[in-house]
Amino acid sequence: MTDVIDQRGDNSLYDVDVAVIGNGPAGIAAAIRARWVKGYSAFPSSVKIIGAGPVGGLLPWGGALLTGPGWAFKGEELLEHLTADLERFKIPVIEGSVFAVRREAPFWVIEGEGFSPLRALSVVVASGFRAVGDEADYFQKGVYITFKGYDYFPKIINEAVGSCDNQGLLVVGNERTELLMPIFEGVRERAGGLTFLLDTESTIDPEPDFDGEVVYGKIVETLKTRARAGNKECFKITAETPRGDRVDLTCGSVLLDYNAFEHKPSPLPRQAHRDATGNALLSLQRDRRGFLMTDRWMATSEPGIFAAGDITGRYSSTLMALGDGVCAGFSAYRWAYKAKFGREPRLFAYSPSDEVITPGSSDMPAIPDWARPKLLGGEEELAAMAGRAGLRLNGHSGHELFDGKKTLKEIASALNCNEAALGRLVTAAGSARLMTAHVIWNEKISGTDDVIRSAGPGGEIF
């Protein structure tokens, strides 16, 4: 890619500093970290979360615990704290499915269903083993999940069979579901039918020797309805095949085989390396099982893209997901900050800065006049802060004025105020986590990312 983007031109417009794909614990932790950063002086990032299912992912399910030998926090309790922080920092959560992430240097463009294309400086992928859909509404009400341990699996299968009312059991997994075949012996007869919905990139050749019907696809909708015969309550499952077709399946109960997905995640969208215009598309390095590979700072093979949670194939733990999410959030924040201000953020006491600290040192960045301030918090808080600084908004809406599109100079002109005074307000509002600035560093940034590529605290290169 040879295009060069001048930060003072219209091409400097973008939507968010950090886009997070996935709304489970890892994605939420990453988003909160990039938005909040730390307890003391820090300039926040603008953040959006894109998630295909309910906020929290697997947290509301019974097997999700933050636990140690003598203590445990249930997933529902943890989710309450996380969603409270999402609301406190007004982090938007978009319901949608991502199908493409492509490079338009120095931005990433995220495209999908349910939302308009999103331009971001950095991206965190935290999409989990598989997209959790509305089947979560029926957990242990006809929808079951493999969890706890292998010697517990027969009990789970018996519960699923017992609730299907002889209308058939649907097992959702992939080719690794073959490992459970011995404990499915006799289930087809007891359940009134057995169907395997395999979430794979394509059909498997040769066909797996499963004791039941095999269908390829992933769940897109789960509904409870009434069967025509006998007027019994049952599930109607709509699945999408690898070719994009929709098929309807009817069953009495559903078993989600997460043992299979811990072996191999649901496929990420298939993309060519370049689109018709020659722009690079997301092509992240994966391990042999299909999980995204990262370094210890959660950086992937694509500069500016980070990953966290179950999609990385590390231990499947809520505690791990939260920790990796925080790490990815910090790293995505660092990447965006360097792109915006041309230097590393000061993140002590989480990470030291390799620089001499003088009496006049500040953890806040200088705001250039071509920066585009973006209000992240409330109108009343901003108005009060402006009043204390001797500035008047003159009836303007804060979100319309500080929308991430108008430059500091343009806003100062609209308010008929001094640019330096307005810059100090943006800095103060940033320190209070009310505002950020959308800007590209005042040296031109090439498509090779050499200007914003930097070494991590341990010497790794992002």
Sign, Cα dihedral of 347, 350, 355, 356: positive
Q: pTM for the complete prediction? A: 0.90
pLDDT at 188: 96
Rounded Cα distance between 278 and 103, Å, is: 10
Domain boundaries, the chain: 4-129+265-341, 134-263, 372-438
pLDDT at 9: 42
pLDDT at 227: 60
pLDDT at 322: 96
* Geometric angle at alpha carbon 27, from 107 and 336, rounded to 5°: 30
Rounded Cα distance between 196 and 184, Å, is: 11
pLDDT at 39: 92
Buried b (16+ CB within 10 A) or exposed e, 255-272: bbbbbbbbbbbbebeeee
Rounded Cα distance between 197 and 219, Å, is: 8
pLDDT at 4: 31
Instruction: Compute the residue count for the chain.
Output: 462
Q: Domain 134-263: what homologous superfamily? A: FAD/NAD(P)-binding domain (3.50.50.60)
Q: Which CATH number fits domain 4-129+265-341: 3.40.50.720, 1.50.40.10, 3.50.50.60, 3.30.110.40?
A: 3.50.50.60
* Geometric angle at alpha carbon 410, from 406 and 412, rounded to 5°: 120
pLDDT at 37: 97
Kindly report the three-state secondary structure assignment for every residue of the chain. Answer: CCCEECCCCHHHCCCEEEEEECCCHHHHHHHHHHHHCCCCCCCCCCEEEEECCCCCCCCCCCCCEEEECCEEEEHHHHHHHHHHHHHHCCCCEEECEEEEEEEECCEEEEEEECCCCEEEEEEEECCCCCCCCHHHHHECCCEEECCCCHHHHHHHHHHHHHHCCCCCEEEEECHHHHHHHHHHCCHHHHHCCEEEEECCCCCCCCCCCCCCEEEECEEEEEEEEECCCCCCEEEEEEEECCCCCEEEEEECEEEECHHHHHHCCCCCCCCCCECCCCCEECCCCECCCCCECCCCCCECCCCCEEECHHHHCCCCCHHHHHHHHHHHHHHHHHHHHHHHHCCCCCCCCCCCCCCCCCCCCCCCCCCCCCCEEEECCCHHHHHHHHHHCCCCCCCCCHHHHCECCCCHHHHHHHHCCCHHHHHHHHHHHHHCCCEEEECCCCCCEECCCCCCCCECCCCCEC
Rounded Cα distance between 22 and 20, Å, is: 6
Cα 77 to its chain centre, rounded Å, is 21
pLDDT at 63: 64
pLDDT (tens, 9 = 90+) of the chain, 462 residues, equals 223 333 444 456 999 999 999 999 999 999 999 999 999 999 999 999 999 888 998 888 866 678 888 888 888 889 999 999 999 999 999 999 898 898 888 999 999 989 999 999 999 999 999 988 888 888 889 999 999 999 999 999 999 999 999 999 999 999 999 999 999 999 999 999 999 999 998 888 777 889 899 999 999 888 887 665 566 789 999 999 988 899 999 999 999 999 999 999 988 654 434 444 444 446 789 999 999 999 999 999 999 999 999 999 999 999 999 999 999 999 999 999 999 999 999 999 999 998 899 998 899 999 988 999 999 988 999 999 999 999 988 888 999 999 999 999 999 999 999 999 999 999 999 999 999 999 998 654 433 344 334 434 443 433
Closest CA to 48 of 129, 134, 124: 124
pLDDT at 243: 86
Rounded Cα distance between 68 and 452, Å, is: 40
